[in-house]
Amino acid sequence: MKQGALHLLIFARYPEPGRVKTRLIPALTPQTAARLHRRMTEAVVKMARAASRGEMPVTVWYTGARRRDFRAWLGTDVGFAEQASGDCDLGARMLGAFEAAFQSGAGAVIGVGSDIPGLTSEILEQAVEGLRWNDTAVGRAADGGYYLIGMKSMHTPLFEGIDWGTGRVYAQTSEKIRRLGLSVAELLPLRDVDRPEDLDVVRHDPRFSDVFSGKSLVSVVIPTLEESGAIRRLLEWLARAGVGIERIVVDGGSRDRTREIAAREGAHVLTVSGGRALQLNGGAAFARGRFLLFLHADTVPPGGCAEAICAALDRPATVAGAFRFKTDDPRAVMRLVERVTHIRSALLQMPYGDQGIFMEKRVFEEVGGFRPMPIMEDFELVRRLRRRGRIVTLREAALTSARRWKTLGVLRTTLVNQLMIAGFLAGVPVQRLQRFYTGLR
């Protein structure tokens, strides 16, 4: 942590159904309440990133799961510390977090909850500004608690003797501030989401609408270059897959009818030059869906792929996934290639692009998207994702054209693939790898 800087603390619980937002049940199912809690927490962390601009250290004080689960869920660019456990009440947990921040050299500390949809970076900046001229800053919650508290030095009494979980928290805290002779910056009152009557705050908020509808959009990003022979089949299949799928074709400058066919099939068609990595990033930036599926033009995902993606990524510690690898070549040697590929993908959590790689758009943006590389961009992204958290390989198979194996031969194709991986891991420049790959094809 930066010494002397203002530190932001976010208090968060892991979104385990039946253990979070229980007062929203039975108005919501345990699963829906947990999803809502998850999305509100993600919104607060996103807001904190925007407000910090790398200058304000952000620490998530967590409970309910392991640190690695929180890192997979919320990212590796914020700090994590475990809340005090045992019989400690909220005040004791907050006290421990504030003390730790001040002991690490913080010049001021702000703590916020994770269930305040209306909390914005502007309000947080008002709290920061308020602490320039006051000893404390407090944001009152509509239920009688508070959603934010900040201070420039440690004031232990503010966390002691408070009736936590009641409508008296804000009044009792304000009285303690007055008795201690401290000045306070009062922030805009906001509503948190704890009870069924609070749900109107989020029910019509577009950030959370799919939590209540149960329908999340999957944006399928398809990079193309001279794919007129394959693109129609894929787009027709995706259209038949039903609602919940957005089709985005990002063409790299085809001279055949790829873009014309894609437009005729009703897909969004973009043109992005500079290589496949930039095409994929361009498609992801355009996408409206919560989930992204990066798909090769000659790969057809399984039936029910949108539902399978949503189910796989419903677990917060799962950062990405892919389908089982299968080709349209019936030869026994290709069945062996498929089995070996599945074992590698499942055990090592290293799927390749021709399996269809999917993740939340939020996660894609947080890890920085595809690196602008001429080749191996999918392999490099998966390595970064794996360092963040778990990558699953689903049992459902995506069917990939075996045209490359038929053209180059199974042995040669496999050897080239392995040499490319070995060269990349050995640090061979990707430009050299591209020339090598192009020359052997």
Task: Please state the domain extents for the chain.
Answer: 6-210, 215-404
* The residue to which tokens 């973009």 are assigned: 270
What's the pLDDT score for residue 92?
94
pTM over 0.95: no
pLDDT tens by residue, 15-72 = 999 999 999 999 999 999 999 999 999 999 999 998 887 789 999 999 999 999 999 9
What's the pLDDT score for residue 68?
96
Mean pLDDT of 102-112: 95
Q: Which of the four pLDDT bands, split at 50, 70 and 90, describes residue 1? A: very low
* The residue to which tokens 């345990």 are assigned: 30
Give the right CATH number for 6-210 from 3.40.50.620, 1.10.540.10, 3.30.160.150, 3.90.550.10: 3.90.550.10
158 pLDDT higher than 90: yes
What's the pLDDT score for residue 214?
86
Whole-angstrom CA distances from 174 to 280, 351, 352 are 52, 54, 56
Q: How far is 69 from 65, CA to CA, in rounded Å?
A: 6
What's the pLDDT score for residue 435?
87
pLDDT > 90: what percent of the chain? Answer: 82
Q: How far is 289 from 218, CA to CA, in rounded Å?
A: 5
Q: Which amino acid is at 356?
A: G
CATH topology of domain 215-404: Spore Coat Polysaccharide Biosynthesis Protein SpsA; Chain A (3.90.550)
Q: Is 166 helix (H, G, I), strand (E, B) or coil?
A: coil
Q: Which amino acid is at 267?
A: A
Domains 6-210 and 215-404 share a fold: yes
pLDDT tens by residue, 339-358 = 998 998 999 999 999 999 99
Mean pLDDT of 194-209: 92
- The whole-chain average pLDDT of the chain stands at 93
Residues contacting residue 320 through CB under 8 Å, at least 6 positions apart? 313, 357, 358, 359, 363, 382, 385, 391, 392
Of 357, 164, 194, 175, the C-alpha closest to 277 is 357
